[in-house]
Structures are given as structure tokens and as C-alpha cells.
Amino acid sequence: MKNYEKAAEYVKTFEGYAPVAYKCPTGHLTVGYGHNLEDNVIGKTVATMLLKQDLEQAEAALKVAFPWYEKLDEARQFVLLDMAFNMGIKKLCTFRKTLAFIVAGDYKAASEEMLVSRWAKQVKGRAYKLAYIMREGVY
């Protein structure tokens, strides 16, 4: 079949759009326009597109939660973006000491505080790399 766009429009009329995953009548986890998450795989192109969308949403949340975020240099914005993506903005907001040190411009103390968290124990190397970037301002 050459005209997938026509087929897609037809399928959309019956499937409907679901932005949040749900169990379809057959019990399969489904999202979008009937995309079965249990029986299908996604290619790197789609995975990259989803990642970009997730990062954009995480950054939008950072800008709302931390009005000072945009005043940070790019390396430190990167650290907060990765942390928000990884753990979610709500969890990141619980890093009160780390965030206070960032606001004060004490990036060494912020990086040290990052490493004493339960999160750092969970993500190990990722936390050490992000703490280095926070401390040095280079990524």
C-alpha cells in the first residue's frame, strides 16, 4: 500500500486519540491512535521524537517552577533539565538545599548536595556526571 496517509485518516475516525495510555477492551495497554504498547516496538526516529517532546515539557515545567532557571548558564540548565526529565519536576522540587545553593550561585555546594541524595545512589554514574557539570559549568 502506498497511501498510508489515507489509511491513517480512516483508522483515526474509529480509533480516536488517547494522549494517555489506557487498557483497550481487549486488555492491551494502548496510546495515541490505537497504538498497542505491549505488542509493538518503536523505532529510533519515534523514540527520539518522544524524547524531544519530553524534554520540551520538562523545560516548560522548570521555567514555571524556577523563575531563575533561564538566568543560569546552559550547562547548569542542562543539569536541571536532565534531572527534571529523569525524576520529574515534583521530585526535583524536593531538592531544596541543592536548589538554594544554585540560586545563591554556590555550584560546588549544589553539586555536593546532589550526591548525598537517594537519587544519586539510584542513578550512580549519571549523578556523578551531572554533579561535575553543575560544579564546573562545562558539559
**Architecture of the 44-136 domain:** Orthogonal Bundle (1.10)
pLDDT tens by residue, 66-100 = 999 999 999 999 999 999 999 999 999 999 999 99
Q: Enter the DSSP assignment of 71.
A: G
pLDDT at 40: 81
Orientation of helix 107-115 relative to helix 125-136, angle to 10°: 170
Sign of CA dihedral 62, 68, 74, 75: negative
Residues of the chain with CATH 1.10.530.40: 44-136
d(CA 114, CA 101): 10
Rounded to an integer, the average pLDDT of 39-66 is 92
Distance between CA 131 and CA 111 in Å, rounded? Answer: 4
More confident call, 6 vs 75:
75
Report whether pLDDT(1) > 70. Answer: no
CA-closest candidate to residue 90, choices 71, 62, 110, 68: 62
**Between these two residues, 93 and 2, which has the higher pLDDT value?**
93
Average the pLDDT over 42-48 and give the result.
86
Residue-wise pLDDT for 107-121, tens only, equals 999 999 999 999 999
Q: What is the mean pLDDT of residues 47-55?
A: 92
